[in-house]
Amino acid sequence: MNFILGIGGGISAYKSLWLIRLLKKQQHQVKVVLTQSALEFVTPVSVHALSEYPAYTDLWNPPQDNHTKADAQEHNMHHISLAKWADFIIIVPATANRISLLAQGECQDLLSNIILASKAPLAIAPAMNVTMWNNPATQDNINTLKKRSIEIWGPDSGLQACGDVGQGRLLEPEEIMQKIQHWIRPIEPSFKHLIITAGATQEPLDPVRYISNHSSGKMGIAIAKIAYQCGIQVTLIHAPIEQNLLQELPSEIKKIAITTAEQMLQQTQTEITKARKQNNPIEVFIGCAAVADYRPTNYNQNKIKKTNDNLLTLQLTENPDIIQSIASNKKDKLPFCAGFALESEELINNAQKKLKNKKLDLIFANPVESMNAEKSTITALWNSQNQVKQQEIPHNDKEQNAIHILELISQRYKELQK
């Protein structure tokens, strides 16, 4: 792969030199753009020695690059040739100023020109003083970049060069390299078309109140995002989820917003039927939504008032079991059905029961305390030769877990399609 590595000014810029080495060890090609501030910390000689390409520092006076004919032919257009050459662009470290330039679409130097001229995916690894990172202006800029599906890696927390302690440290090169590897192509999937449900459904009591749960939908969002990066066609059917989470997803992911469990089932069935008619079947269905088990039997058109005896009795009706309904109506073994079991007790036993009773191909069990936690441990269970097998997915963040989840689904899907 061809990488443009933009190095911003800051004491952590020296770490980018080790990142060049790590990229080269993975057989990637790396061309480095040094900002004017970066030149105070990193020398072009070091960059040239490690990357095997001359360092780019000037919009108007490019170095002679014998590896790329276009650079020699388009002497004063080298920002265009570099933009076309890049498969991926990363900025390490990304300073507060650089983040601001990106958010505003400024075109002040070589690096900003390359970014605006390129269609390559972009990732940044922020590094700055903790107060600068927490400044509302910086956070607004970060949110703007997330809406454009730009990867934000870090920052980490700890002791900073200025003596302050807090969030703002650059991730270590090895951590950045790990993220790059998953970013490029987390897995090679055995299927091409996926539907996933996410978020907590809401069952209205009256115009004001509803029954729901605490699920944020982050796990479903992470799976949808990683699946798209793997080249899978993704449809996300989601209950109400924070808008900023949805905005992190690429626009190519089809997103269908619903509210209730019945609506989620109906939309899922509609998408599966539509895909079959178009000869583009849904191969995998992942039920990741936290679906309300019950809904009010009667909806009150007006807001329910307090009672004189301080008691309110609600009559509830069981909601349809979405994943069981989909699993029970397969056609030619499709879709492969994977679900989740969130349990407060007897995690594995309860997950095994759901695996059997719902006729699932795979289930992921996680304890109730993992709900909305940034990191969690998940146990995968499946049937193989009349035995229930299980595998623990390491304690990790949502996106790392999503990679392991999709990898397992891909393996099991391939085995069952033989």
**Residue from 90, 104, 94, 82 nearest 133 by CA:** 94
The DSSP string of 245-298 is: HHTTS-TTSEEEE--SHHHHHHHHHHHHHHHHHTT----EEEE-SB--SEEESS
List the strands of the sheet with 151-152, edge to edge. Answer: 29-34, 2-7, 88-94, 122-126, 151-152
* Alpha carbon distance 351, 346 (integer Å): 8
* Alpha carbon distance 336, 349 (integer Å): 22
Helix (H) or strand (E) holding 413: helix 398-416
Whole-angstrom CA distances from 131 to 9, 10, 91, 181, 308 are: 17, 15, 21, 31, 53
DSSP for residue 64? P
Active site residues: 162
Tokens standing for residue 107: 């075109």
* Angle between helical axes of 78-85 and 110-117 (0-180°, round to 10): 50
**Residue from 362, 349, 294, 367 nearest 323 by CA:** 362
- Listed in sequence order, the residues at least 6 apart from 250 whose beta carbon sits closer than 8 Å to its beta carbon are 149, 225, 228
The count of other CB atoms within 10 Å of the CB of residue 144 is 17
**DSSP H helical ranges for 110-206:** 110-117, 130-134, 136-147, 173-184
249 burial type by CB count under 10 A (0-12 exposed, 13-18 middle, 19+ buried): buried
